[in-house]
Chains A and B, each alone.
Chain A
């Protein structure tokens, strides 16, 4: 079992993490962050692998991975 955390206020919504997550474990939040845009969030029920692909691709280093 693994999970990730996202620094939602630094997230720019580029969606690269979503593109590369093998488990579809991320989605776009419908609430705005402080930047006034929609960050991604982790699906709490997701079957996260802790593979870190999302973190590897995040240009804003918003993601931390736990396993």
Chain B
């Protein structure tokens, strides 16, 4: 992929060019079947450009960042900070509002621990301290990464976890909960990793603001797939992972509104995040350094910078349009197959490209195995959203999820595979 393409659908030849950038897409699996990779919701594949950027960095400029005064150290620091600036711009925020974490999970934990550490940190952090009976609000459609850290925060502070419920068609039920003056945090996904549902962010933010609660956005499934501007969304914190957006594993981002990051006490502590260290006590650097203890994932940040460049060169509007078309094709096709039950919205309104479903009463593992045998990689599990699955009375589902490199033909292969599952397990019509 080269060149700046900003409008309209991806053409067949563009899509071919994009696919050629991803070495893994040309491999075969299970008795020489071409790989049909429909598990990008779990982790995406990496284009050559990202692999090359990381390798060039390691072969030419590698050094510990923000620590050395020699030439390599300066070059490495420049590469790392340049990546931060480009990634920040990609999501509409300032570089010093972007903290590098190992994944989105760490980012959300950082906020949760920052809040409990506020109780003992003193100073500006006091505004964040939670008291027993305070409320943390999430939703029933959260990934475990945006659920368990809040349960544990409640355990540490005596706060109480509450949640918005999910309707039968997989939407957020805004009437299922009233925030209160005790609500201190409202944390929610930007897009369900199971159902694709995009909840009404503006309304959730409005309600949280009205009671003075902080908002935390789980942007893992939005940033890779559609244009996102955290400043415009007006959320306080947001987290996403590099590996889901064509970038390396081992790197994620936590966005925090500047004045909040400035007041938040540190989470991981150690080298590079300090101001003054004495045996008797230490003070800490301003953000983002305060939240980046130890030698960071340097080459991975550089790789994520390259991923953002790659996506920007295609244009996120076009990425979104392409995935929208794939999702629509999948939804339409699946809904025409007898016995298939889609979990979540069956239309394309406020919905991204994750499609989870059941095929008759075939267990997701069994269905996934048949698809795998055909070369089709989907995920068969609760997708780390177990409470949501329980809400729909199931243990696990089959999920197909898409990225910019998927093709309509791959959707058709999925649909054919679903027919094969029905045949193999004799699902009645």
Genuine A/B complex: no
Residues in A lying within 8 Å of B, measured CB to CB:
none
